[in-house]
Amino acid sequence: MPHGYYGYVGKILRVDLTEKTISIEPLRRDLTTNYIGGRGLGTRILWEEVEPSLNPLSSNNRLMFVTGPLTGTRAPAATKFGVVTKSFLTGIYAVSLCSGDFGPNLKFAGFDGVTIQGRAERPVYLWIDDMNVQFKDARHLWSLSTDLTQRYVKKELKDETISVACIGPAGEKLVRFSSIVHERRTAGRCGTGAIMGSKNLKAIAVHGTGDVKVKDVEKLRDVTERIYKDAKEAMEGLSKYGTAEILELTNYYGALPTRNFQSGVFENAEKLSGPSVREKIVKKDIACWSCPVGCSKIVSIKEGTYDIITEGPEYETLAMLGSNCGVDSIGAIALANKYCDDLGLDTLSTGNVIAFAMECFERKLITKEDTGGLEIKFGDHQVMIELIKRIANREGIGDLLAEGVKRASEKVGKGSEKFAMHVKGLEIPAYAPGSLYGVALNYATSPCGAHVNRGSTFLTEINMPPKIRFDPRGKGRLVKNEQDRRAVYDSAILCLITRRATHLPQVTEMLEAVTGMRTSPGELMKVGERINNLERAFNVREGITRKDDTLPRRCLEEPMPDGPAKGKTLSETKLRVMLDEYYRARGWNEEGIPRKDKLQELGLNDVAEQLELIVNA
């Protein structure tokens, strides 16, 4: 146990693609006590190593693959690895998590994380075979789909059981919202794929045979079994139908993005995820590493011209490539999902940007001349699938859309910014903000831009009586707490799928059992707060202030046409009330910059000093 705590392996692998060197660094003790691991660990390294205003595509940008202390153990759904970098889509801090067995395998190989810097001269992939790390030529893999890349790498390394994370053509072509794909799961958000592509790194393959040792096996087993028991009931729907279960709920509460967020209610929602549909198409359950839920579904769909067997589509994909594009064909969505995965595109941003193009076309802001002859209309799923291919290849109109909705709307102009649905450049995902003020506030303030999993209060809010739900007051503290809590899960790392049975006290117990450190829910919340503040400091260093903590004008000016918030508008005034309260709860000043005393309270003295220099400059 070189690190001093159990659970960790105690090593970080550093890879320099320019120099073609690898080195192994000890995992610093202050990183684990102050940041747990995972997202927190990545955030701190990014803060220390990425200089302000660095071009995200610069070879000096870092791309980190991180695991947490729980990764590889039997803790329920401790399956994820995180990707932390400076985003090419938003130009600010980015973290994206991905399930599967890549994270556990990385840890069994003997690393808590991998930091990648530099740029390879020619396409390469990295082969981590326990402590034996090699650069491999990837020229023959370039331009291949993520599916084929994984297959070829496994074949080449003569082992079907190794884990491969890779990019597809979209990442190679620097599509701003391209993803990193492992199995059929993705670190989808914030355009992590483009960073990997800019480094000429096609894939990372991992095979690990080592141990993950924990302090108290019996205690971990005890907590785990309690969570399994609670999980059985709390997560029955998720086990049965997958994340698509929630679609009926979001539709009911007016939060299902429909036709580029013009509404939160989709008239054909039933066709996307009704129990009868799921009953018919779901053929088999698949679970990620150590997960007792198994939300992933193998589906077989025969519908019209679509005949497809695949994994998914998940809720957010159903919403963004479905209702948000006005599409009600489950077959089309499944196929679009498969194309996105194969090409290495984030399904959420893709659905968002295509819906934007559809609205632009219907409002005649773009014409057939701009689209290369395509009639891009809501509900036309064939056009949607065609656009996905063009985006990934940056072909014609696809080249414009590949820039993300923010830049696309700037180019289209003509008032289209009003319905370019993004925050800080990150496309708004599948919980429409108009009917849920906490969700909206989280989008406005989350460190990555509009990212639901950095602090979604959806489940809390729908349980509120409407009077409280539609009151901007009280949302600031609610969102702050949820964001801090999520940072703990993302650092441990635990998948959010079990969160209905895994609350902070259980996370505390598991962390204690695994690492041997003494902690408490309160202390963990402090860690979460520290991580969020450090991420904010990173963004402030990049020029982010209050002016950026906002929402698209559609959210602030247009009343909701349907659903429980019908006729209500989340106005500029309401957002101001929420932001003020949020900043106060966070200990940030009115401009949204963390105060010196707050940072010092969190032990971030060096960060406070740096920020002071910037703010005073």
Partner 1 sequence: MSHNFEMMILHKFITCDVEKCTGCRICELACSEVKEKLYNPRKSRIRVVTLGLAINTALVCRFCEKPTCVRCCPRDALRQSEENGVVFVDEMRCDGCGWCLEACEFGALTFHVDKKAVIACDLCEGALECIKACPFNALELVTSNILAQRARCAVTRSLFKGRS
Residues 59, 393: contact at Cβ < 8 Å?
A: no
Closer by beta carbon to partner 1, 298 or else 517:
298
Tell the smallest beta-carbon distance from residue 12 to partner 1 (Å): 20
Residues 451, 558: contact at Cβ < 8 Å?
A: no
Among candidate residues 145, 106, 328, the one with its CA nearest the CA of residue 115? 106
Give whole-number Cα distances, 3 to 25, 137, 516, in Å. Answer: 11, 34, 12
Which distant-in-sequence residues (6+ apart) come within 8 Å of 615 by Cβ?
A: 540, 593
Distance of CA 332 to the CA centre of its chain: 23
Question: How many Å apart are CA 68 and CA 203, to the nearest integer?
Answer: 21
Tell the smallest beta-carbon distance from residue 290 to partner 1 (Å): 6
Tell the smallest beta-carbon distance from residue 581 to partner 1 (Å): 41
Distance of CA 451 to the CA centre of its chain: 7
Closer by beta carbon to partner 1, 19 or else 218:
218
For residue 382, the SS3 value is helix
For residue 423, the SS3 value is strand
List residues binding partner 1 (CB under 8 A).
72-74, 101, 108, 160-161, 184, 209-214, 217, 220-221, 228, 231-232, 283-294, 296, 298, 309-311
Q: Three-state SS across 148-174?
A: HHHHHHHHHCCCCCCEEEECCHHHHCC
Helix (H) or strand (E) holding 22: strand 21-26
Instruction: Specify the pairing of strand 296-303 against strand 282-286.
Output: antiparallel
Which distant-in-sequence residues (6+ apart) come within 8 Å of 185 by Cβ?
A: 98, 99, 100, 288
Q: Is 16 exposed, middle or buried (0-12, 13-18, 19+ CB in 10 A)?
A: middle
Kindly tell me the sign of the dihedral angle through the C-alpha atoms of 68, 344, 270, 453: positive
Tell the smallest beta-carbon distance from residue 452 to partner 1 (Å): 25
Closer by beta carbon to partner 1, 191 or else 208:
208
Tell the smallest beta-carbon distance from residue 132 to partner 1 (Å): 15
Instruction: Cis check for the bond before 493: say yes or no (omega within 30 of 0).
Output: yes
Closer by beta carbon to partner 1, 309 or else 525:
309
Residues 583, 590: contact at Cβ < 8 Å?
A: yes
Tell the smallest beta-carbon distance from residue 76 to partner 1 (Å): 9
Closer by beta carbon to partner 1, 232 or else 411:
232
Tell the smallest beta-carbon distance from residue 387 to partner 1 (Å): 26
Tell the smallest beta-carbon distance from residue 507 to partner 1 (Å): 18
Closer by beta carbon to partner 1, 112 or else 403:
112
Closer by beta carbon to partner 1, 61 or else 105:
105
Beta strands in 247-305 (DSSP E): 282-286, 296-303
Tell the smallest beta-carbon distance from residue 162 to partner 1 (Å): 11
Tell the smallest beta-carbon distance from residue 515 to partner 1 (Å): 13
Tell the smallest beta-carbon distance from residue 172 to partner 1 (Å): 24
Closer by beta carbon to partner 1, 297 or else 407:
297
Tell the smallest beta-carbon distance from residue 233 to partner 1 (Å): 13
Q: 381 — phi, psi (to 5°)?
A: -75, -25
Q: Three-state SS across 292-326?
A: CCCCEEEEEEEECCEEEEEECCCHHHHHHHHHHHC
Closer by beta carbon to partner 1, 151 or else 553:
151
Name the DSSP class of 16. E
Tell the smallest beta-carbon distance from residue 286 to partner 1 (Å): 5
Question: How many Å apart are CA 411 and CA 400, to the nearest integer?
Answer: 8
Q: 398 is written with which tokens?
A: 């696809």
Closer by beta carbon to partner 1, 248 or else 341:
341
Complete DSSP assignment for 168-208:
-HHHHTT-TTB-EEETTEEE-GGGHHHHHHHTTEEEEEEE-
Q: 374 is written with which tokens?
A: 């395509």
Among candidate residues 403, 418, 349, 411, the one with its CA nearest the CA of residue 188? 349
Tell the smallest beta-carbon distance from residue 223 to partner 1 (Å): 13
Helix (H) or strand (E) holding 457: none
Question: How many Å apart are CA 308 and CA 491, to the nearest integer?
Answer: 36
Closer by beta carbon to partner 1, 309 or else 504:
309
Tell the smallest beta-carbon distance from residue 285 to partner 1 (Å): 5
Question: How many Å apart are CA 432 and CA 314, to the nearest integer?
Answer: 16
Closer by beta carbon to partner 1, 7 or else 434:
7
Q: 355 is written with which tokens?
A: 């819906």
Closer by beta carbon to partner 1, 310 or else 569:
310
